[in-house]
Structure 1
């Protein structure tokens, strides 16, 4: 297992809904926990992955996600069992969209 941590500063969108979990850890999949947190405007992402050695790919996917959503005061935890970058992006977007839907 490998643990990767990312922090993105100065986001513009805050989520106020209760924490959400999307996805299921299983064969080739992952789960995402997303929750509001007082992080002085930052978004933190912690990844626990069984696919060791793919830090550069994770970093690119996380950077793209942050550019798309610009989250602030948000903590994201990912438990991964080898999901593809496309699945990672899909699950992250589902988590944010679920929280935005709950806030309506």
Structure 2
């Protein structure tokens, strides 16, 4: 076997490993991130006035008003504590119907 044939075989082997690594990268990093982005976009598109939300900073509040990219939140029992924030700061949404079902169980 000549040196040229050995070099070509090594190059082919390297290309196969690079392709395997790229496929693994896609399934381990890129695809889960895309799924999470779709889930969050669906959650924010279903956001409605009266929903209880958890923000990324850990605050629970109720949605009072919704605009294109911001929401006005009411925090705590004080009805005067209303704060505008970006929709992107919402981590979790709980619909009022979900809260009633949890209480009845």
TM-score in same-fold range (> 0.5) = no
User: Looking at both structures, which has the greater relative contact order when contacts are Cα pairs under 8 Å and sequence separation is at least 6?
Assistant: 1
TM-score where L is the length of structure 1: 0.24
- Could you say which structure has the higher strand fraction? 1
